[in-house]
Amino acid sequence: MSEFIDPNIIKRIKNLREELHRHNYLYYAMDDPEISDSEYDRMMRELIELEAGYPELSSPDSPSLRVGVSPVKKFQTVRHSVKMLSLDNAFSNSDILDFDKRVRKELGTDEQVLYTAEPKMDGVAVELVYEDGRLVTASTRGDGETGEEITPNVKTIRTVPIILQRYKEERRIPARLEVRGEVVISREGFRRLNEDMLSRGLPLFANPRNAAAGSLRQLDSKVTARRPLEIFFYGTGESEGLDIESHWDRLCALKELGFRINPHIKPKIKIDGVLEYYSELERKRYELPYDIDGMVIKTDSIGIQVRLGQTARSPRWAVAYKFKAVQETTKILDISVQVGRTGTLTPVAHLETVNIGGVNVNRATLHNEDEARRKDIRIGDTVLVQRAGDVIPEIIKVIDSARNGSEKVFNMPENCPSCGSRVIRDEKEASVRCYNESCPAKIKAQIEHFASKRAFDID
């Protein structure tokens, strides 16, 4: 067949593939794009069309795999050549100081040990294996020893390099490289995904981590390709040709090869710096676009990591310092309805005041009637409430065992609580709306929005 293919087509496909890999690298790993998103999309469309016309020119390394391939029947099992361990947890500054003491005792030194600290991403751990710079296998962590092979799904994630790049000439591409990362969905991506699920009448995801896990484990990678998955790489398994004796320097080398690493990592700090960084992360956590649930510290020296070794389940050279709980239980005293600037009615739960992570909380949003139904939230219920930064706290679930039969089911009103006009229900959007243009509550919300930071920023 191939003798009939115009050599210019073969050349064009090769060129498009190389260029798309390179632009992906510049955009995601280097944060230094050369072309616009629309130009990238145009090149991708051209490649997909050409490949569809010449299936004999298909390649397992093509950037067009970002859109997914034919579904598989079941996942294969993959054994990790180096066990993917879980980390021990610390819950206080004194736990961290104890950890540091144990490390120095084990090493028999009074000298300060240097740590590299990073945000603990709340996502799904995966391992990617590269041979001669090409992604050959990707798998979930599983039980740490074996996971599920999800290579086509991982290839759809834009922040995953399919082919490794050489940023500096002197940096060689490792012959074999096992690299580990955390797959996440941003809070914004999660919000859009759930809106989409809701509009199609599909069950909603409970949180970004569940959404990431569910999206990764799709037998049809075309579904995965439509999910807003991202990845941050944090370490390596076995590697040949990446002989670097510092954890941080290794991460920098990974970045040069095309792996995206978290921009908030604090390299090579002493133990007092570690504690400072923790408070900084705790303050900044909701400014980050994705969920984090703490901090991870690792001894920066790989030599020290090897000397300290590991227990059956976790390394002795790393620890996770978890954030304080942001969930508490309380009681729903009443449910009222708020009218937004577009006239949408939102049920709001009034709670018995409860302190969650240092802040008094007395109300929580129920988002919409469907969500209140789905979670079967009733007036008088004892509920688990979660606070996430500046956003209105949310009800995670009802504590069923606390019910005594006096709880009242909540129904959306037929009339707007502000102006009394009849509200209109949109089944498709699961929304209830007041369409009265002169509704006082709507106008008030519009003025508030107009003056808010997102619009004109008037005090």
Please give the positions annotated as active site. 120
Residue 20 interacting with Zn ion (CB under 5 A): no
Residue 439 interacting with Zn ion (CB under 5 A): yes
Build a one-symbol-per-residue string for 145-184: x at contacts with Zn ion by CB under 5 A, - elsewhere: ----------------------------------------
CA 8, distance to chain mean position in Å, is 41
The structure tokens 């739960």 sit at: 349
Q: Which two tokens stand for residue 269?
A: 């700090």
What is the residue-wise DSSP string for 369-420? HHHHHHTT-EET-EEEEE--TTSPPEEEEE-GGG--S--EE----SB-TTT-
Query: Smallest distance, Å, CB 440 to Zn ion?
Result: 7
**How many residues appear in the chain?**
459
By rule CB under 5 A, what count of residues binds Zn ion? 6
Q: Using the minimum distance from each CB to Zn ion, give the nearer residue, 383 or 434.
A: 434
Residue 416 interacting with Zn ion (CB under 5 A): yes
Q: Using the minimum distance from each CB to Zn ion, give the nearer residue, 9 or 424.
A: 424
Q: Using the minimum distance from each CB to Zn ion, give the nearer residue, 43 or 434.
A: 434
Of residues 93, 91, 170, 173, the one with CA closest to residue 135: 173
Cα–Cα distance measured from residue 32 to residue 20, given in angstroms and rounded to the nearest whole number = 14
Q: Using the minimum distance from each CB to Zn ion, give the nearer residue, 207 or 421.
A: 421
Residue 436 interacting with Zn ion (CB under 5 A): yes
Q: 198-202: which pairs have CB atoms within 8 A and are 24 or more residues apart? A: 198/370, 198/429, 198/430, 199/428, 199/429, 199/430
Residue 349 interacting with Zn ion (CB under 5 A): no
Residue 419 interacting with Zn ion (CB under 5 A): yes
Cα–Cα distance measured from residue 356 to residue 325, given in angstroms and rounded to the nearest whole number = 8
Tell me, what DSSP letter sits at residue 254? H
Cα–Cα distance measured from residue 347 to residue 381, given in angstroms and rounded to the nearest whole number = 15
- Choices 68-76, 101-109, 358-366, 414-422 (CB under 5 A): range interacting with Zn ion: 414-422
Residue 330 interacting with Zn ion (CB under 5 A): no
| Binding test (CB under 5 A) with Zn ion, winner from 215, 236, 418, 431 | 418
Query: Smallest distance, Å, CB 61 to Zn ion?
Result: 57
Build a one-symbol-per-residue string for 108-147: x at contacts with Zn ion by CB under 5 A, - elsewhere: ----------------------------------------
Cα–Cα distance measured from residue 339 to residue 359, given in angstroms and rounded to the nearest whole number = 25
Residue 225 interacting with Zn ion (CB under 5 A): no
Instruction: Please give the residue ranges that form the binding site for Zn ion (CB under 5 A).
Output: 416, 418-419, 434, 436, 439
